[in-house]
Each structure stands twice: as structure tokens, then as C-alpha cells.
Amino acid sequence: MQTDGPSARRETRVRASSTPARACSRVRAWWRRRLVAGRVWVLPVLVLACLTLPHLDQGDWRGDQAWYAAIGVQAWRTGELWTLWAWDGMRYFNKPPLVFWIHGFVLDRVYVTLAMARLPTVAAAALCAIGAVGVARELSGRRAGLLAGAALVLTYEFFRRTREVSLDMWQTAFLLLAAWLVARGVRTGRARWVIACGLPVGLALMTKPLVGLLAIPILAAWAIFPGGTLVPPSRARVLASFAGAIAVAMLIAAPWHLSMWQIHGNDFLAQYFGAEIASRAAGELDPTGASVKPWWFYLYRLGAHGWPWTLFAALAIVSLWRAKSPGRHEPLIRLGLVWTVAWMVLLSLFAEKRDRYMLPVHAGVAWMSAAWLVRWGWAWLRPVERAMVRKGPAVLVIGAIVFAALPVRVQRPIAPEWAALRAWLRNAPLVDPADPQAEGPVLFMGGLEAGDAARIYVWENWWAAQPPGLEGAEPGGRVREPRIGDFVLYERNQGLAPGPGESVVLERDDVTVSRIDEFPWRPVWWMRSPD
């Protein structure tokens, strides 16, 4: 029986008024679920940003930063993107061009500063965090993903590499994205994800010579025996999937390599495969021998600078060995173990050893430590995780803002001699040596090394000139005859010093600038010639 009295009308009004409330409740519930799912990805990247962005402009163009930045920005300014050039007439075959394109684009479109040169490296580190989170989330769940990303970005040897133009950081980012695709393919049993890992591997091959290909056999070795509750695919299927991945990687990387061979012939082969791979593996590129270190170098770096994550990773390995039945987190521990050991062994085979080469190793340690913390350390870690999720973002952002506002120095300032040189360059009436129509004095290299010549380029937007046939000078540069009134820049560690007919206009520590007052111009060796 249907009623049409006051009570029925009141019930209709209640239902009508509750409909928007239910809709808002559903929206809030959906948004809450998205926040819970998104925090896995956002929090590690936020931690990384708060660690790296404050005072990003401090320091100096040390190491290869100026060299890589100059090559990249010059490629965009000249339009010579396919074949990279260093100095005029000096082709650059040492590395593939992808990272130079990325950093050079940012510098050319924004401004040439240290912060802009390093910002793409921070983006690459964020991709590393996302890749590490993706692998752990696929194999062990959201909490393991969150902890793996946090462990990676909080590793000192990892986040300190964001303050440079780092090819190794970009290569690691692509390799971790490849590992994520393989982990998804093994978990779901779908070969297309494994084949798709060839895309980031191909990008890694466009970052550094050949090293990216090593990730494929490493991941294949794990995919055959993933462990835990994952059903291992047949070896034939694994081999077929990774063969497809190699084919995809070759499609990405082969065009540039083959075109360089076709255009430049043996010059490219000798430099790229000879000097950059064979000679570097033998430790012959460093004349000082400082980069040739003992076989246990990476073990020492991992043990000395990987705490506390190396401890948690070691506990995870012990737990895996003692486990009597497969557990949910076993695949992640196995992948971390295979990944870490394989990269440590392969890198140790090279005579040249540098701590930046072991960036992929830190991801493997992060996976193992995250698996152990979730499985065995979660009881005491749960309150920390809850506080981190609820209050962590606000605390991190406020802390980063305060830290950025404080007048603290996290990196050594520019060396006094280079600061004095830069001040002199700002006031000197110099012209671009490459412009034959420009009237005025030019700056010549007096045996200046490549990295410091690049430093001048990022400051002044031109390369210093090089006199023809100067003993001890690096090859390349703006080769031209010196004139009366031109200036010469000397650096002490290059061995040359002003000679007769030159007057010193700037002298600070290891850097000297002189003016040519009369011919013949004959710089002298202040120490014995390397010849």
C-alpha cells in the first residue's frame, strides 16, 4: 500500500538530501584510494627533491660537468646533433649523444648555469626511484615499493651524484625501468612486457657504450628462477622473450651507431670501440693511474657508504638461505641478489674503477633491504611508515625550504684562481676566435686541458683559440695565428708558462694570463716536457 502523507514526503526529502552526501562520500573514498596508491611513487621522489634541489647551484664545473655541458649546448646552438663536436674540427665519439641532447636542450632553452646543468640529472634520479619502486611493488607489494624507493634515494653514494652531469645516472634510470618491465612480465606471465624492456635498454645504449646490454642476461638469469610463488617460465620462452628485447634495443640504438660508422669509418670505430671500451677496460685512459684500483674497491665502497641498507640486505640474504618454504618476498630478494652480485662482478673485471659506475648496485641493495624490512622488520617500522605517510610530505617540504634559505654550503666553492679568471673575462675586451670578421684580441690556450677549455665555453659561449703547432697543446680548438695584443691562458699542471715577449696581466695560483707584446712568441716549459 502506497502512502502519500507527511511521512512519505519527509522520507523523499531525506533520500534526496542524502544523494549528494553519498556522492561526496564516494568521491572522497576514491580520492583517498588514489592517494594511498600514489604515495608509493610520490614520497621517494619528494624525498629526493628535498635532498637535491636546495643549493643545487653551489660548487663549480668540476670533473666532466663543463665538458659534457659545453658539448651538449653547442650541439643545439649549431644544429649539429647527430655528430657531436667538441672544439672546432674535433669530433666527439666517446659517448652516444642522448644525454648530451637532454642536458644541452635544457641549457640552450633556459640558461647555462650549474643548476640547469644538474637539473636533468635530478630528473634521471627520479626515474631511478620510480623504476626501483616499480620493481619492488610488482614483486612484493606497495610497502616494499615505498621502502625500496626511499632506501635508494637515501643512499649517499646515489643522491650525491645528482650534483653533476651524470651519464651513469641516466643509464641506471633506463636499466631500472627495464628491470621493472621484466618483473611485470614474469609476474603476469606475459612475454610482451619482457620484450618491451628492450626500449629502455636501447636508450641505455644511447647513453654509454654497450654497458646496457649486460642487463639483459642478468635479468634473464633471474627470470628463469624467480623463486617464491612465481611460476618460472620455460627456458625456451625466456630466451625467446629476451631475444625479442635485444632486437628492440638494437632497433633503438643501431641507427646512430651504424650511421657513425658509415659517415666516419675507422675513426669512429677506433675511438668508440677501441679507446672508450677496450682501453678504458684496461685502465689505459687515465695517465695518472688513479682510476686503476684493486678488485675489492666496489666491496669497500658498498660496505663503507651503503649503511644501513647493506645491513638489511645482508639480513635478507640470510633469511632467504634459512627459509624452509617460499615466501611472498623471495622473488624480490632473489632479483636484488642476482642484480647486485652480477654488477659487482662485471664492474670489478674492469681495471678502471670509479664509484659512480656502481649506481645500479645500490638499487639491488635497496630491493633486498625493502623485502627484509617488510617481512621481518615491519612490526617496529609500521609507526614510522604511518608518520611518514601522514606528516612526512609537509615536514619534508618545510625542511627543504628552510634548508634552501639557510646560508649553508654543501659543496666547495669555485677555486680562487678560476673565480679570478672569470672576473677578468667579464671585463676583458675579447672576441670569439671563430669569427674572422671580429676585431679585437682573442684568448689562446697555452696547453689548456679539455675540461677547462669547456669551462670557458660555458662562461663565454666561445672556445679559446689554439695556435698552430704549439707543443703540449690539446688537439682541436679554434686554430689560428696569434697576433700582437692577443692573450694566452696558461694552467700550471699543463707545464707551459709565459715566455719572452709576454707580459702577465693575471696570475693567481695555478692560472696565469699573459698578453703577447712582441714576436716571436715562445712560451716556455716551467717543468720538463712530457715528451
When pLDDT is averaged across residues 278-298 and rounded to a whole number, the result is 69
Q: Give me the chain's average pLDDT, please.
A: 85
Long-range contacts of 374-378 (CB under 8 A, 24+ apart): 374/140, 374/141, 374/143, 374/144, 374/147, 374/329, 375/319, 375/327, 375/328, 375/329, 376/315, 376/319, 377/312, 378/143
Which pLDDT band, with edges at 50, 70 and 90, does 284 fall under? Answer: low
What's the confidence (pLDDT) of residue 434? 81
Judged against a pLDDT cut of 90, whether residue 332 lies above it is answered with: yes
**59: region left, alpha or beta (phi > 0 left; psi from -120 to 50 alpha):** left
Q: Which is higher by pLDDT, 49 or 235?
A: 49
* 330-348 and 309-322 helices, crossing angle to 10°: 120
Judged against a pLDDT cut of 60, whether residue 398 lies above it is answered with: yes
Nearest to residue 93, comparing CAs of 300, 257, 283? 257
Which pLDDT band, with edges at 50, 70 and 90, does 394 fall under? Answer: confident
Which pLDDT band, with edges at 50, 70 and 90, does 529 fall under? Answer: very low
Spatial distance between the Cα atoms of 165 and 377, rounded to a whole number of angstroms: 37
Residue 110: CB atoms within 10 Å: 11
When pLDDT is averaged across residues 507-522 and rounded to a whole number, the result is 89
What's the confidence (pLDDT) of residue 178? 98
Q: Percent of the chain, pLDDT > 90?
A: 49
Judged against a pLDDT cut of 60, whether residue 279 lies above it is answered with: yes
Which pLDDT band, with edges at 50, 70 and 90, does 104 fall under? Answer: very high
Q: Which residue has the cell 635508494?
A: 152
Look up residue 91 and give its DSSP letter. B
- The answer to whether the beta carbons of residues 505 and 515 sit under 8 Å apart is yes
Judged against a pLDDT cut of 90, whether residue 11 lies above it is answered with: no
Which pLDDT band, with edges at 50, 70 and 90, does 14 fall under? Answer: very low
Domain spans of the chain, in order of start: 36-405, 416-525
Spatial distance between the Cα atoms of 362 and 155, rounded to a whole number of angstroms: 7
Which pLDDT band, with edges at 50, 70 and 90, does 241 fall under? Answer: very high
When pLDDT is averaged across residues 5-21 and rounded to a whole number, the result is 56
What's the confidence (pLDDT) of residue 194? 95
Cis bond upstream, residue 520 (ω within 30): yes
- CB contact set of 222 (below 8 Å; sequence gap of 6+): 182, 334, 335, 338, 339
When pLDDT is averaged across residues 91-112 and rounded to a whole number, the result is 93
Q: What is the pLDDT of residues 174-202, one digit of tens each?
A: 999 999 999 999 999 899 999 999 999 99
What's the confidence (pLDDT) of residue 531? 43
What's the confidence (pLDDT) of residue 243? 95
Lowest mean pLDDT of 2-11, 252-261, 327-336, 337-346, name the range.
Answer: 2-11
- The answer to whether the beta carbons of residues 344 and 313 sit under 8 Å apart is no
Q: What is the pLDDT of residues 399-420, one digit of tens each?
A: 888 888 888 888 888 889 999 9
What's the confidence (pLDDT) of residue 76? 95
What's the confidence (pLDDT) of residue 8? 56
Judged against a pLDDT cut of 60, whether residue 93 lies above it is answered with: yes
Judged against a pLDDT cut of 80, whether residue 388 lies above it is answered with: no
Judged against a pLDDT cut of 80, whether residue 512 lies above it is answered with: yes
Judged against a pLDDT cut of 50, whether residue 472 lies above it is answered with: no
**pTM across the whole model:** 0.88
What's the confidence (pLDDT) of residue 530? 43
Which pLDDT band, with edges at 50, 70 and 90, does 473 fall under? Answer: very low
Q: Which is higher by pLDDT, 486 or 29?
A: 486
Judged against a pLDDT cut of 80, whether residue 380 lies above it is answered with: no
- The answer to whether the beta carbons of residues 472 and 530 sit under 8 Å apart is yes
Lowest mean pLDDT of 18-22, 62-66, 314-318, 362-366, name the range.
Answer: 18-22
